Amino acid sequence: MQIGAEGTASMDETPKGKLSFVSHFYMPSIQLQVKTSLISFPSSATIVSEPLGLVLVISAWNFPFVELLLWSICLITTLSLDPVVGAIAAGNAVVLKPSESAPDTSSLLAKLVEKYMDTSAVKVVEGAVALTTALLHQKWDKIFYTGGSEVGHIVLTCVATHLTPVVLELGGKCPAVLDSNINLKVAVRRIIAGKWGCNNGQACISPDYIITTKDFLLDDAQVSGKIVCGGERDILNIKIAPTLILDVSRDSVVMDEEIFDPILPILTVDKIEESFGVINGKEKPLAAYLFTNDKKLEEKFVRNISAGGIIINDTILHFLEPGLPL
């Protein structure tokens, strides 16, 4: 509680023309007036928000730039710049470390930030594991990391010395459950759009595996022989054809880690409700998809499955809704 004190955070010192896009997101420091009791009479009390300070953003390689025109509003949704925008809007200074797995986009980010943004408030540093490790051993006021869980463990271990608050966006294995009462062609088109149409499977909310019942899937004679569709690889051009794998072992690597490529395993269960146990036996997914015309099954799914987002009879669309959390 502050008595008779005021404090604000301002972006007014930012050079003209730089960081202008932040004005859409930026809200001045909020001052919340709080009622006081007789104990402190006749004082007044105010809760004043303030920036954390210096923020490190370690971003992923798969979506450095994505622009979506949605409901006539231009939204900048990028795994590199989204947390940077939020940090700047709250009045913080930011160091952005793009992924070394995409060196061209990392270089472009560095050039654009240097040219168009205030480098006293935002800096881009480029490098691989050694640089990231060195950065993590510095003292930060907050760290935002997007990537895999293995590196997520390393991040938390490194920052434990300084007790730095960390936000981890680690992805996960997003299931798509297919009930037997659906229009299969429609469902398949929507899963294809969410899997291979969404950066060729290289998206954290893409369907990562399918669960359906044995009798529904094996009615098709072409599938009953455990057919594997696709699988072709072009090593020279680093390409993999869209691939379906039927009844892969549930303890295999492809079912243990986020796939992040055009491979889509299909698991079969005797009853569709058994899919709940399969999903809940893994880490919480960023998204879970159910295709069904059964309202009771839909209610059970929503009640029993915990995920960042749930969509019924489609995939990835929640990401495009500005009113929903990402």
Give the model confidence (pLDDT) of 177-232 as tens digits: 999 899 999 999 999 999 988 777 888 889 999 999 877 654 444 444 464 688 78
Q: Could you tell me if residue 247 is left (phi over 0), alpha (psi between -120 and 50 degrees) or otherwise beta? A: left
User: Rounded to an integer, what distance in angstroms lies between the CA atom of residue 177 and that of residue 180?
Assistant: 10
Q: Span 15-36, mean pLDDT?
A: 57
* Strand ranges across the sheet with 122-124: 122-124, 93-97, 54-58, 142-146, 166-169
Span 240-265, pLDDT tens digits = 888 888 887 787 777 888 888 888 88
Find the range with the poorest average confidence among 6-15, 21-30, 70-79, 220-229: 6-15
Q: Span 263-276, mean pLDDT?
A: 92
User: Rounded to an integer, what distance in angstroms lies between the CA atom of residue 106 and that of residue 233?
Assistant: 27
**Who has greater pLDDT, 198 or 58?**
58
Residue 251's nearest CA partner among 231, 267, 275 is 267
pLDDT mean across residues, the chain: 81
Active site residues: 169, 204
pTM of the model: 0.74
Coil/strand/helix, residue 300: helix
CB 94 within 8 A of CB 122: yes
Q: Crossing angle, helix 129-136 and helix 149-159, to 10 degrees?
A: 40
**Domains delineated in the chain:** 20-169 (3.40.605.10), 174-320 (3.40.309.10)
